[in-house]
């Protein structure tokens, strides 16, 4: 009897580990991979307008980078790196688009505070991040920053992991980085685009 119970326990344990492995692999499989087409999506941009992917993707190279939050250290370094290389990206006919769970209003504050010269999309419910397979956590989070001597609360309901996608003129992913170094990302993306152009 003890041998039978031990066997059943062992089988149940193996089943649980196998199920966990399948679920974890299934999550990775949902991420958009290399040479896969990017599905159409829409979002509100930092000016409060509807941004349609079909107006941009497939017409030029698009750098779509997901980041956790406006006005935080790593996210600011990454955004300023893209800002400082914008002339080079334009010369490469590449458009840079940042995506976070922040609102359009938060994006306006972020852009003004750091003179950002590219589009930021508001993915307030994490739908776009999920569409791309980017891990996203839900729940209200607030960042408080002093801007022009005034404390400003920037609240978001979704926080995405830091991932970067480069999408070619055919609308396919040619580069995906799911282990992004915030400060180095703009430089490595620029080098990648120069190498494939």
Catalytic positions are 75
Integer angstrom CA distances of residue 174 from 59, 70, 148, 168: 15, 26, 41, 6
Three-state DSSP state, 147: strand
Report the length, in residues, of the chain.
197
Distance CA 16, CA 22 (A): 10
Backbone angles phi, psi at 147, to 5 degrees: -125, 120
* Angle subtended at Cα 90 by Cα 123 and Cα 87, rounded to the nearest 5 degrees: 105
Other Cβ atoms within 10 Å of 123 Cβ, number = 27
């Amino acid at each position: 009897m003890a041998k039978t119970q031990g066997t059943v326990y062992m089988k149940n344990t193996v089943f649980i580990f196998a199920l966990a492995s399948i679920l974890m692999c299934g999550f990775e499989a949902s991420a958009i991979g290399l040479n896969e087409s990017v599905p159409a999506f829409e979002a509100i941009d930092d000016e409060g307008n509807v941004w349609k992917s079909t107006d941009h993707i497939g017409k030029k190279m698009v750098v779509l980078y997901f980041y956790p939050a406006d006005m935080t250290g790593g996210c600011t370094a990454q955004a300023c790196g893209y800002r400082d290389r914008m002339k080079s990206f334009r010369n490469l006919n590449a458009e840079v688009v940042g995506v976070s769970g922040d609102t359009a209003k938060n994006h306006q504050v972020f852009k003004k505070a750091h003179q950002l010269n590219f589009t930021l999309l508001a993915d307030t419910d994490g739908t776009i991040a999920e569409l791309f397979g980017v891990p996203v956590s839900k729940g209200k989070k607030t960042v408080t920053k002093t801007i022009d001597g005034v404390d400003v609360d920037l609240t978001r309901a979704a926080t995405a992991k830091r991932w970067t996608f480069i999408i070619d003129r055919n609308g396919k992913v040619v580069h995906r980085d799911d282990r992004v170094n915030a400060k180095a990302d703009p430089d490595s993306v620029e080098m990648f685009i120069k190498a494939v152009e």
